[in-house]
Amino acid sequence: MSDAPISTFSLLSSQASRALARALISGYVDAYALLSFGVYASFMTGNTTSGGVHAGQGDLPAAAHSLLPVPFFLVGIVAGTLLVHASPFRALRRISLLVAGMLAAAVAGAWFAWPLWLGIMLLSSAMGLLNTSVTQVGGQRVSLGFMTGDLNYLAQHIAHAILRAPVLQVQGERDTHWRRAALLGSLWTFFLAGAVLGAAVAFRVAVWTLLLPALLLLVLALLEPPANSAD
């Protein structure tokens, strides 16, 4: 009986680690996409706003460029969701390997000067896939590449903690509103750190920038126990 809380806490810690590592990668890739293509790879709200502004100003080619990531991000999410549904116990490793391969392909595209639209398609599809890899830590829904939802949940948990409201889908005594707020704040911090790192590396190594997150995802995939689920 006494082992149950420890096991639950260990599971939550491993889930959180997976989410934090991938939030870092999402921020990194988003920064690279913004610097290289002028669009976001995972922040579709920003692309939608930019597309709307350009359309409102009558600049339809610029609007189309800003909106190009949206359908491919959705394609990535659909593909990732199908992978998780088909084989939930292997999906995290498979998605990580697939995204790593797509990032490596984007490096090749930068080296061989492929059309910009192809790079945008690759990166936004990859980030859609990555966002399906870890969607929940314990009872808390999380997002890896768009922080607005995480910040919304963070503020709600702070308010509920002040009100001493019960935690929904509680995962043991250590699962509190403050802990969930800390998790969501950590995801935001890791995403921000990834964006800072991505911009700094892009400034120095240019076309090779995406090799780092590709290698990190490869390592994460190889370290992932085959029997673990993708949540």
Residue 2 scores a pLDDT above 50: no
Inside any domain, residue 83? yes
Domain of 86 in residue numbering reads as 3-223
> What torsion, rounded to 10 degrees, do the Cα atoms 109, 42, 178, 15 define?
-50
Q: Are 73 and 125 a contacting pair, CB within 8 Å?
A: yes
CATH code: domain of residue 134 = 1.20.1250
230, pLDDT greater than 50 = no
In a domain, 80, yes or no: yes
Q: What is the rounded CA–CA span in Å between residue 122 and residue 128?
A: 10
Note whether residue 113 is domain-resident. Answer: yes
For residues 88 and 220, the model is more confident at 220
pLDDT band at 6 (very low <50, low <70, confident <90, very high): very low
Q: How far is CA 204 from the centre of its chain?
A: 24
Per-residue pLDDT at 81: 96
Answer whether residue 12 is part of any domain.
yes
Summarised one tens digit per residue, pLDDT across range 130-187 is 999 999 998 899 999 889 999 999 999 999 999 999 998 888 888 999 999 999 999 9
| Structure confidence at residue 214 (pLDDT) | 97
- CA–CA gap between residue 60 and residue 56 (Å, rounded): 9
Q: Decide if 125 is inside a domain.
A: yes
Is the pTM higher than 0.85? The answer reads yes
The total number of structural domains in the chain stands at: 1
117 occurs within a structural domain: yes
What crossing angle do the helices spanning 211-223 and 91-111 adopt, rounded to 10°?
A: 160
Domain assignment present for 32: yes
Q: Using the 8-state DSSP alphabet, how is residue 1 labeled?
A: -
Average pLDDT over residues 9-14: 68
pLDDT in tens, 190-215: 999 999 999 999 999 989 999 999 99
Say yes or no to pLDDT of 93 above 90: yes
Would you state the pLDDT for residue 227?
55
Quote the pLDDT of residue 109: 94
The pLDDT-based confidence of 3 (bands split at 50, 70, 90) is very low
| Interatomic CA distance for residues 1 and 44, integer angstroms | 46
* Residue 62 forms part of a structural domain: yes
**Mean of pLDDT values over 86-106:** 94
- Dist CA 231 CA 224 (whole Å): 12
Alpha helices, DSSP H, located in 38-171: 44-56, 60-67, 69-86, 91-111, 116-130, 147-163
Q: How far apart are CA 172 and CA 155, in angstroms?
A: 22
